[in-house]
Amino acid sequence: MTHRELVEALELARFDRRLDLRHEEVADDGDRREAELAVWERGEQLLAAGNAPVQR
């Protein structure tokens, strides 16, 4: 995964969470979205620290 792909995925996960928070009655997989967001945020932290795995 490239840096750009990670940033795009993180932005999408954050957007999905905002939608869930606004429309709780239609959010059917909020737990999955929170877990997904945590994964993308961790990837962002690794990139910022320079510890991200090299894409092959």
Answer whether residue 56 is part of any domain: no
Total count of domains within the chain: 1
Q: How far is CA 25 from the centre of its chain?
A: 22
pLDDT per residue as tens digits for the range 2-47:
888 888 888 888 888 887 766 665 555 557 777 778 888 888 888 8
Phi–psi pair at 2, nearest 5 degrees: -85, 165
Answer whether residue 55 is part of any domain: no
Given the structure tokens 């932005």, which residue do they identify?
11
Phi–psi pair at 29, nearest 5 degrees: -135, 45
Contacting residues for 41 by C-beta, under 8 A, at least 6 apart: 10
Answer whether residue 8 is part of any domain: yes
Amino acid at 3: H
Tell me what pLDDT residue 48 has. Answer: 82
Spatial contact of 45 and 7, defined as CB atoms under 8 Å apart = no
Tell me what pLDDT residue 56 has. Answer: 47
Answer whether residue 36 is part of any domain: yes
Q: Which domain holds residue 41?
A: 3-49
Answer whether residue 31 is part of any domain: yes
